[in-house]
Amino acid sequence: MMVMTETRKYRTSEYDIDEMFLERWSPRSFSEKEVPEDTLLALFEAAHWAPSAFNFQPWRFILAKTAEEREVFHSFLYEGNLAWCTRAPVLALIISKKERDGNVIHSHSFDTGAAWAFLALQANRKGLITHPMTGFDFDRARDVLEIPDEYNIEALVAIGYQDEKEILPEVLQEREQPNQRMPLENFIFNGKFKK
């Protein structure tokens, strides 16, 4: 049985936008159902079409798809995230290359964020959920996964199918719903910055 939350019960937009932006959210209730390889790779196909400065494409993804690989990733996750993400069938650590030919690419994180957004939207289109997190030991992740210093660690994403919220610890069940966003006037400034 596939579970999908009706996001329109929780979210509205002030202006007319595509439904995919309202439908994407970050559940924690993962099913242990395996994601078919072609479905999973479609997410990364979408990600690699993101725009980037000089077409540098700084994003890289380290995947954990087997039980053994996920166990390695679990070794650097903080306890709060371990409470829910151990059921996710795929974990993807997102990193970005910081330099090209000895020159710093100042937009490496920005560009990699665009790739993550493309991945998340494609996942939603494929009936999958994603939950990004930074609640892990970045230094330990770098050490355990042997990530060179020229790469910045951005975030870890759980990928899979949604399950019922009742599988979560009670404290997380209460939070297992899409949230709204702040009004546009809180973050759009005309002419210059305003507090």
Q: Is the pLDDT of residue 14 over 90?
A: no
In the sheet with 129-133, reading across from the earlier edge strand, the strands are: 59-64, 90-97, 151-160, 129-133
- For residues 5 and 164, give the distance between their C-alpha atoms in angstroms, rounded to a whole number: 9
Q: Where are the domains of the chain?
A: 27-173
Residue range 27-173 in CATH 1.20.1250.20: no
Q: Distance between the two ends of the chain, CA-based, in angstroms?
A: 47
Whole-structure pTM value: 0.92
18-27, 102-111, 113-122, 153-162: segment of lowest average pLDDT: 18-27
Distance CA 153, CA 157 (A): 12
pLDDT at 10: 72
Among candidate residues 83, 71, 90, 80, the one with its CA nearest the CA of residue 32: 90
pLDDT, tens digit (0-9, with 9 covering 90-100), for 39-54? 999 999 999 999 999 9
Look at residue 168 and tell me whether its pLDDT is greater than 70.
Answer: yes
3-state DSSP of 100-147: ECCEECCCHHHHHHHHHHHHHHHHHHCCCEEEEECCECHHHHHHHCCC
Token readout for 157 is 């994403």
Mean pLDDT computed over 82-93:
96
Is pLDDT of 1 > 60?
A: no
- Looking at residue 17, what is its pLDDT? 81
